[in-house]
Chain A
Amino acid sequence: MGRAPRSRIILGRTVLIWRLAGRDLRHRPAQALLLLLAITAATATLTLGLALHGVTSQPYQRTRAATRGPDLVAQLSGTPRRPGQRSPGPQVLGQVKALVHASGVTGHSGPYLLAGAVVRAHGRIAGVEAEGRSQTPAALDQPKVTAGSWVRGGGVVLERTFAEALGAGVGDQVTLNGRRFRVTGIAVAAAMPPYPNLCYTPGGGCPAPFPETPSPVNPHLGPGGIGLAWVTQPDARVLASSDAGSPAYVLNLKLKDPAGAQAFASAYNNAHQVAGAPLLNSWAGIRTADGLLVQGEQSVLSPGAWLACLLAVASVAVLAGGRMAEHTRRVGLLKAVGSTPGLVAAVLLAGNLILALAAAGAGLAAGWLAAPLITGPGAGLVGSPGAPSLTLPTAGLVVAVALAVALTATFVPAVRAARTSTVSALADAARPPRRRAGLIALSARLPVPLLLGVRLTARRPRRAVLSAASVAITATGIVAVLTFHATAGLEASGGPGGLGNPVYDRDEQMLTVLTIVLVTLAVLNVIVTAWATVLDARHSSALARALGATPQQVSAGVSAAQLLPALPGALLGIPLGVGLFAAANGAGTRVLAIPPAWWLAAAVLGTLVTVAGLTTIPARIGARRPAAAILQSELA
């Protein structure tokens, strides 16, 4: 008989592999669905993490265009003012003249007086930089009013994010340095970053001093509790009259080459490093400060996405191992009809790769659709970034990670199954368990459920490690959230203002999303690990029942086998969670509060109770199977 051409053989094998893998997935839909969910959750989180890069660029540019944003903002400080002085002193006027006539500068607005004031609204208190503006629109940096109207005498326009934090709206009464003002409008601007990052411009800081003690500035947040407002120029002068220090001004500049603004600012600041010299901020630097609003989310989501991927690897590894335990007989049949070990491994791998590809697609779609919910630009900017553009490298990375997860988790069991001898595979012989003499001796002294649980754990140490790692990762996420709340609580109680912090709101939202993802993955993990344990222990459990163990003792033993690795995992999650939060929060640069002991104890106990609860169902189903039938099947 003639031999078919090599290309036809390869094609035939490929078709066979995909057909067998497809049939297997259809034959076990529940397992396939669990695998799909595990990888989808991980890839969706990863997509979100990647999607957050650069999301503030677009809305900042829109805001800049809508407000005729300047290319450079100069902070100027003059000599102490004389009573009744209306215009800036000669020093400031000299600096302004030099800047507006500098090479490359094509336009300007200002200088505008900045008055540091304390604002009180609805019982809340905060610092505010009140900028004195003309009632007529400026050619450069004219804030865009999003509600109400522009400044008028006795009225104040609040920056939008700051107004939200204060809880103030158009028509509300507020006080600035004790003087009553009516909120006439809400506006956004591109010349200064929105609350709470107003004073985080590179090399900057808030130029205007604050007159009142105690300082409204939160001692833990530093200058983070200061907002921006606009008042008329006469009102600004009145507010500034109570300033103890030198008056501050801002001057907006337009450049011939806006792209060179950062270089211009750096060169100027380096050349003028004397006290009282103007400080220049470029539009690019302000955009970076805008990005601080989502920087926390980014620093939480990126490590979180990788944690989710690790959990997915653990889930898939346990699932793949469990599937292999069920596949032993099928492997024997495949080999008996002439399949090579390579073909057997390929069939087992192909099934999981199909699922990984489908999960990558689902994860990309879910992450892409969910991104706008958490990457909104914030009230301080106009426009929304919408769904982030799904670039080819992003999609490629997500698909590669999904395939790597499936490959990593499946490779060892697939190769092991392929190497199993045909005879023992046909006999459905389970992989020989490990012997841990010390644990076996120790377990003899324990109550029956623990005796069975310890021995089950000792039989499959790798699964126990995966289980512990899975719980540790979940507990890490939960403890990070608790640490965030403890830290946020400390910071909130440290300041007198009682203002909301949009950065913390976003971080909390992000951590909550991340925790939901991690908990979902962990739930899947616990279920599949328990299922794999039940499957693997079906013979020893049946034998234990034949020897007199009750079904309750056997199911409690399976639960104990999950809880034993879960306990160290949950405990390990405490330092890891605190560490994760510290790393994401900028180690050493921000305050860090360890959650109260009872919070941590509740987290550990809650995790263990959840693990026990989730394990109960597969454990009981396993314990209900007739022992006689299982023992008989070993003879088949």
Chain B
Amino acid sequence: MSEAGGTAVVGARALRKEYGRDAGLVRAVDGVDLDVAAGETLAVMGPSGCGKSTLLHLLGGLDRPTSGELWLAGQRIDRLGERALARLRREAVGFVFQAFHLMDELTAAENVELPALLAGVPPRKARRRATGLLEQVGLADRAGFLPSALSGGQRQRVAVARALANEPLVVLADEPTGNLDSESTLDVLRLFDSLHTAGQTLVIVTHDARIAATADRLISMRDGAFIDQTRLTGGSTGTLGALAGLEG
């Protein structure tokens, strides 16, 4: 395909991101080509500092590439202005961060409804949607709790619910289980499993092989470049948690 459009929800061509210059030049992402199909779960693995998170930020329009093309839902986004990128993030992308990044002073429900409010959804409708999402992630009884009163796994589930608030085309998860214990990791994996089953496009950056094994496709990264791609079967056919070996 000449452009990363077609059926791909997310695409990149010769994507490059550099920091510094001359002797201090660092290529965080070094000439990456990528297509993520609708409904696909893609895992990106690699050691710390290999450029996984930078790639994710580029794909979500949170950072700008040094060169190359970026496509989202058939639209080229690397030349868009900040305002258009913000609208795109609001409508087409949901982020899940390793550190959760919940607002400390907002309850779980208020955190989840925030993207909808930023998108101009009426408050009641935003709250109804947030309540439904919290139910979906199994935290309906924690809607009025502040993040400080939730466990790590619960916080990450709230973050996932927030990522889904505006029904995005793609959810980009950056080490979503990096700060969690095994039990909480399992909770989050189950959640991703249900999203996967529901046809949600997912890009998960991780250095945990057990998480990566649950995807449809696994890309290995090193020094900013893709060094290997593997298509897996477990992600689309089996139970993610079981394949990850986390269930007894």
Chain A residues with CB under 8 Å of chain B are 432-436, 440, 444-445, 448, 451, 455, 458-459, 539-540, 543-553, 626-629, 631-632, 634-635
Taking a contact as CB atoms under 8 Å apart, the answer to whether B99 and A547 are in contact is no
Taking a contact as CB atoms under 8 Å apart, the answer to whether B114 and A547 are in contact is yes
Q: Contacts A444-B117, A543-B103 known; A632 to B53 CB distance under 8 Å?
A: yes
Q: Does B104 contact A (CB under 8 A)?
A: yes
Taking a contact as CB atoms under 8 Å apart, the answer to whether B117 and A627 are in contact is no
Q: Can you name 14 extra interface pairs (CB under 8 A) apart from A549-B90, A551-B86, A627-B62?
A: A444-B123, A444-B126, A451-B117, A455-B105, A545-B62, A546-B62, A546-B101, A548-B87, A548-B91, A548-B166, A553-B86, A626-B62, A628-B62, A635-B98
> Please, could you name 8 A-B residue pairs with CB atoms under 8 Å apart, sorted by A?
A435-B106, A451-B118, A547-B90, A547-B95, A551-B82, A628-B63, A631-B101, A634-B99
Taking a contact as CB atoms under 8 Å apart, the answer to whether B91 and A434 are in contact is no
Query: Given the complex of chains A and B, what is the CA–CA distance between A543 and B106 in angstroms?
Result: 13
Taking a contact as CB atoms under 8 Å apart, the answer to whether B103 and A448 are in contact is no
Query: Given the complex of chains A and B, what is the CA–CA distance between A550 and B99 in angstroms?
Result: 22
A545, A548, A551: which contacts B119 (Cβ < 8 A)? A548
Please name all residues of chain B whose beta carbon is closer than 8 Å to the beta carbon of A445 when the two chains form the complex: 123
CB distance from A545 to the nearest CB of B (A): 6
Q: Does B120 contact A (CB under 8 A)?
A: yes
Q: Does B30 contact A (CB under 8 A)?
A: no
Please name all residues of chain B whose beta carbon is closer than 8 Å to the beta carbon of A550 when the two chains form the complex: 82-83, 86-87
Closest to A447 in B: B120
Query: Given the complex of chains A and B, what is the CA–CA distance between A552 and B84 in angstroms?
Result: 12
Query: Given the complex of chains A and B, what is the CA–CA distance between A632 and B97 in angstroms?
Result: 9
Query: Given the complex of chains A and B, what is the CA–CA distance between A455 and B99 in angstroms?
Result: 22
Say what secondary structure dominates the interface of chain B.
Answer: helix
Taking a contact as CB atoms under 8 Å apart, the answer to whether B118 and A547 are in contact is yes
Q: Contacts A444-B123, A547-B118, A547-B162 known; A433 to B82 CB distance under 8 Å?
A: no
Query: Given the complex of chains A and B, what is the CA–CA distance between A553 and B98 in angstroms?
Result: 26
**Interface membership of chain B positions 102-129, coded 1 if the CB is closer than 8 angstroms to chain A and 0 otherwise:** 0111100010011101111001001100
Query: Given the complex of chains A and B, what is the CA–CA distance between A448 and B91 in angstroms?
Result: 15
Q: Does B207 contact A (CB under 8 A)?
A: no
A548, A628, A629: which contacts B118 (Cβ < 8 A)? A548
Query: Given the complex of chains A and B, what is the CA–CA distance between A632 and B103 in angstroms?
Result: 16
Query: Given the complex of chains A and B, what is the CA–CA distance between A632 and B63 in angstroms?
Result: 12
Please name all residues of chain A whose beta carbon is closer than 8 Å to the beta carbon of B119 when the two chains form the complex: 548
Q: Contacts A546-B62, A551-B82, A627-B62 known; A432 to B104 CB distance under 8 Å?
A: yes
Most chain A Cβ neighbours within 10 Å, of B83, B101, B120, B148: B101
Please name all residues of chain A whose beta carbon is closer than 8 Å to the beta carbon of B98 when the two chains form the complex: 635
Q: Does B8 contact A (CB under 8 A)?
A: no
Closest to A634 in B: B99
Query: Given the complex of chains A and B, what is the CA–CA distance between A627 and B104 in angstroms?
Result: 18
Please name all residues of chain B whose beta carbon is closer than 8 Å to the beta carbon of A545 when the two chains form the complex: 62, 86, 89
Query: Given the complex of chains A and B, what is the CA–CA distance between A609 and B57 in angstroms?
Result: 37
Please name all residues of chain B whose beta carbon is closer than 8 Å to the beta carbon of A544 when the two chains form the complex: 114, 118
Please name all residues of chain B whose beta carbon is closer than 8 Å to the beta carbon of A627 when the two chains form the complex: 62
CB distance from B203 to the nearest CB of A (A): 15
Taking a contact as CB atoms under 8 Å apart, the answer to whether A547 and B113 are in contact is no
Q: Does B195 contact A (CB under 8 A)?
A: no
**Nearest 9 pairs between A and B by C-beta?**
A548-B90, A550-B86, A628-B57, A435-B105, A444-B123, A628-B63, A628-B62, A547-B115, A433-B105
Say what secondary structure dominates the interface of chain A.
Answer: helix
Q: Does B146 contact A (CB under 8 A)?
A: yes
Please name all residues of chain A whose beta carbon is closer than 8 Å to the beta carbon of B110 when the two chains form the complex: 440, 444
Taking a contact as CB atoms under 8 Å apart, the answer to whether A448 and B118 are in contact is yes
**Interface membership of chain B positions 226-246, coded 1 if the CB is closer than 8 angstroms to chain A and 0 otherwise:** 000000000000000000000
Query: Given the complex of chains A and B, what is the CA–CA distance between A626 and B126 in angstroms?
Result: 28
Closest to B58 in A: A628
Taking a contact as CB atoms under 8 Å apart, the answer to whether B104 and A433 are in contact is yes
B89, B91, B106, B166: which contacts A546 (Cβ < 8 A)? B89
Query: Given the complex of chains A and B, what is the CA–CA distance between A432 and B148 in angstroms?
Result: 10
Query: Given the complex of chains A and B, what is the CA–CA distance between A121 and B33 in angstroms?
Result: 92
Taking a contact as CB atoms under 8 Å apart, the answer to whether A448 and B120 are in contact is yes
Taking a contact as CB atoms under 8 Å apart, the answer to whether A546 and B95 are in contact is yes
Please name all residues of chain B whose beta carbon is closer than 8 Å to the beta carbon of A444 when the two chains form the complex: 110, 113, 117, 123, 126-127
Taking a contact as CB atoms under 8 Å apart, the answer to whether A547 and B123 are in contact is no
Query: Given the complex of chains A and B, what is the CA–CA distance between A459 and B104 in angstroms?
Result: 10
Most chain B Cβ neighbours within 10 Å, of A433, A458, A632: A632
Please name all residues of chain B whose beta carbon is closer than 8 Å to the beta carbon of A455 when the two chains form the complex: 105
B57, B86, B104: which contacts A548 (Cβ < 8 A)? B86
Taking a contact as CB atoms under 8 Å apart, the answer to whether A543 and B101 are in contact is yes
Q: Contacts A444-B126, A632-B53 known; A549 to B101 CB distance under 8 Å?
A: no
Query: Given the complex of chains A and B, what is the CA–CA distance between A440 and B127 in angstroms?
Result: 13
Please name all residues of chain A whose beta carbon is closer than 8 Å to the beta carbon of B97 when the two chains form the complex: 631
B99, B106, B120: which contacts A440 (Cβ < 8 A)? B106
Please name all residues of chain A whose beta carbon is closer than 8 Å to the beta carbon of B87 when the two chains form the complex: 548, 550
CB distance from A433 to the nearest CB of B (A): 5
Query: Given the complex of chains A and B, what is the CA–CA distance between A432 and B127 in angstroms?
Result: 25
Closest to B119 in A: A548
Most chain A Cβ neighbours within 10 Å, of B89, B99, B105: B105
Please name all residues of chain A whose beta carbon is closer than 8 Å to the beta carbon of B120 when the two chains form the complex: 448
Taking a contact as CB atoms under 8 Å apart, the answer to whether A548 and B89 are in contact is yes
Query: Given the complex of chains A and B, what is the CA–CA distance between A550 and B110 in angstroms?
Result: 20
For chain B, residues 61 to 84, give those with C-beta under 8 angstroms from any C-beta of chain A: 62-63, 82-83
Query: Given the complex of chains A and B, what is the CA–CA distance between A2 and B53 in angstroms?
Result: 52
Query: Given the complex of chains A and B, what is the CA–CA distance between A328 and B154 in angstroms?
Result: 28
Query: Given the complex of chains A and B, what is the CA–CA distance between A628 and B87 in angstroms?
Result: 16
Please name all residues of chain A whose beta carbon is closer than 8 Å to the beta carbon of B113 when the two chains form the complex: 444
CB distance from A353 to the nearest CB of B (A): 33
CB distance from A449 to the nearest CB of B (A): 11
Closest to A552 in B: B83
Q: Contacts A444-B117, A547-B95, A551-B82 known; A434 to B105 CB distance under 8 Å?
A: yes
Please name all residues of chain B whose beta carbon is closer than 8 Å to the beta carbon of A540 when the two chains form the complex: 103
Taking a contact as CB atoms under 8 Å apart, the answer to whether B86 and A549 are in contact is yes
For chain B, residues 169 to 218, give those with C-beta under 8 angstroms from any C-beta of chain A: none
Closest to A451 in B: B117
CB distance from A603 to the nearest CB of B (A): 34
Query: Given the complex of chains A and B, what is the CA–CA distance between A579 and B147 in angstroms?
Result: 47
CB distance from B75 to the nearest CB of A (A): 16
CB distance from A558 to the nearest CB of B (A): 15
CB distance from B142 to the nearest CB of A (A): 16
Taking a contact as CB atoms under 8 Å apart, the answer to whether A626 and B63 are in contact is yes
CB distance from B72 to the nearest CB of A (A): 13
CB distance from A633 to the nearest CB of B (A): 10
